[in-house]
Amino acid sequence: MKRIVVTVAALVLAGFLGTAQAQQPGKTLTIGISGETTSLYPNWFVTTPNQQVMSHIFNNLVEMDADNKPRPALAESWRPIDDKTWEFKLRKDVKFHDGTPFTADHVIATFDHSKTIEGVGSSAGAYVRSKTYTKVDDHTIHISAGKPYPLLPNEMSVLYIYPRAASVDDFNAGKAMVGTGPYKFKEWIKGDRLVLERNADYWGEKPEWDRVVFKVITAGPSRVAALLNGDVDVIDYVPTPDVPRLKSDPKITVSSRAGERIFLLAIDSNRDISPYVFDNDRKPLHPNPLKDWRVRKAMSMAINRQAIVDRIMDGQAQAAGQIATPGMFGHNPDLQPEKFDADGAKKLLAAAGYPNGFRLTLHGPNDRYVNDAKVTEALGSMLSRIGIQTEVVTLPRAVYFTRMGTGGERGTPEFSAHLVGFGTATGETMSQHWMLLHSEDKANALGHFNFGRYTNLRLDAMLGEAIRTLDDGKREVLLKDIGAQYMRDVAAIPLYWQVNVWAMRKGLTFPPRLMEVTHAMSIRSTP
């Protein structure tokens, strides 16, 4: 297959990466990454690989720190000026990479342009489509959701600001890759590497590295080998079996922490006939048993989460009993993981009218998350043991996510039950709930990751109240109650939170982040 080569300068990195590094002056940091950005358009698809790259070249108004707490970026401060409107004061000492002074006009233009981008289910433009925004002066902007909206500053951490509108093709060709960030775009060789150079005029703290190379190495063992061989300095998504070995290697440093990505089983609890649910004679089953909360509860009881954590994830995960991530605002410590009870699951399945079970096809990705195919296979075996004869199908990420969202009849979600990992870009539990479990509402950017199409209008209304509650104490009580009710109804089946693990050569440090993104700006050499 022909490779796409993108460059914005005469200098082209030649040969193997180690040779290229030797030819370049200054300090180069090479990061072996498991997943590549799908586009160079900064507000395209909100995924970890995309956000990771864009955070080096562009800035948001607000950015998230390592603990998912909002902090100033292009906006030096913000405050509510009434119960519906937030005022953002912008920095006055910022220039884009091409020398253009940054002003409120660029924020307005970016928001306007981002709303027009089509072709993806979770574009960053979704965060401004229901909002109004006005320029007060060159360095002040007012943004309103038309209602009390406490998460508005958090959502400003998702959109990256650029100086002028351009096509996706122009971004992907490198022509429009002009930001205000600590690094400038140099080169993208799709499927191989992305190269950045330090912005000497950056308005914030200057990064240590003159050049950063993101080297795409999708296979976990190959990333580990590249690190041990000295071909890269840092790797992400360390394969779980290799963590103990790397921790014991005196030439390697390992950095880790429990992450914010929840892994769950999404269940088709909406359709009367689900495409991958059959009776024991392999005929479509009506009504869809997954609509019955007792069946979903039995499925949850059939899953031995701790066995998955210990045997498949090698201890690099934490069993989950809710969607909300520990340490994030709204997490309910009273919601513990479902107790494994295969016998109880069989009894509940019989009480729901399925004493002999039924047949189900369970889908999952095989190249997106750590051990994703193995986890999906294990889930299939556990469900089969209680009488739900489960066939497991795993797919490459490019195929899987397309079919998950729009592969069904008339562009609907295709699968009956599937594994998904979800990390919130806004750093708060509320967005986990409204994206994953709120009824689908495209106009208001709600439920756009609810591919099981779970619907509960009463909980939608409660979540709507929480979204409008500015008082943090009251909002947290609401969120904990909402989370508990979602779990009582088994709106989805939470499985575990993944531990984020990085490994690097000795002499480097990287404070682990709640989100999975790797920031070269935070990687430091030690004396």
199 and 307 inside one domain = no
pLDDT tens profile 48-98: 888 899 999 999 999 999 888 899 999 999 999 998 999 999 999 999 999
363 and 445 inside one domain = yes
3-state SS assignment for residue 478: helix
Interhelix angle 293-301/342-351, rounded to 10 degrees, is: 170
pLDDT of 6: 41
Pair of tokens at residue 473? 């104490």
Pair of tokens at residue 319? 């069993």
224 and 269 inside one domain = no
What distances in angstroms separate CA 38 from CA 24, 162, 191, 406, one per listed residue? 27, 18, 10, 18
Q: State the CB neighbour count (10 A cutoff) for residue 526.
A: 8
169 and 267 inside one domain = no
331 touches 284 (CB < 8 A)? no
pLDDT of 135: 97
Q: Supply the CATH number for residue 145's domain.
A: 3.40.190.10
241 and 264 inside one domain = no
Q: Is 409 exposed, middle or buried (0-12, 13-18, 19+ CB in 10 A)?
A: exposed
pLDDT of 47: 80
505-524: string of b/e by CB count within 10 Å (b at 16+)?
beebebebbbbbbbbbbbbe
pLDDT of 425: 67
238 and 273 inside one domain = no
pLDDT of 232: 98
388 touches 440 (CB < 8 A)? no
Q: Is 305 left (phi over 0), alpha (psi -120 to 50) or beta?
A: alpha
Q: Supply the CATH number for residue 305's domain.
A: 3.10.105.10
158 and 88 inside one domain = yes
pLDDT tens profile 108-136: 999 999 888 765 445 777 788 889 999 99
Question: Please, what is the Cα angle at 391 between 372 and 395, to 5 degrees?
Answer: 40
166 and 310 inside one domain = no
236 and 361 inside one domain = no
Residue 80: DSSP 8-state: E
Q: Which parts of the chain register pLDDT below 50?
A: 1-25, 120-121
Whether the predicted model's global pTM rises above the 0.95 cut: no
Of 306, 304, 276, 310, nearest to 290 by C-alpha is 276
pLDDT of 118: 65
Structural domain total, the chain:
2
Range of the domain at 361: 259-498
243 and 366 inside one domain = no
pLDDT of 20: 38
Spatial separation of the C-alpha atoms in residues 305 and 382, rounded to whole Å? 10
471 and 331 inside one domain = yes
213 and 302 inside one domain = no
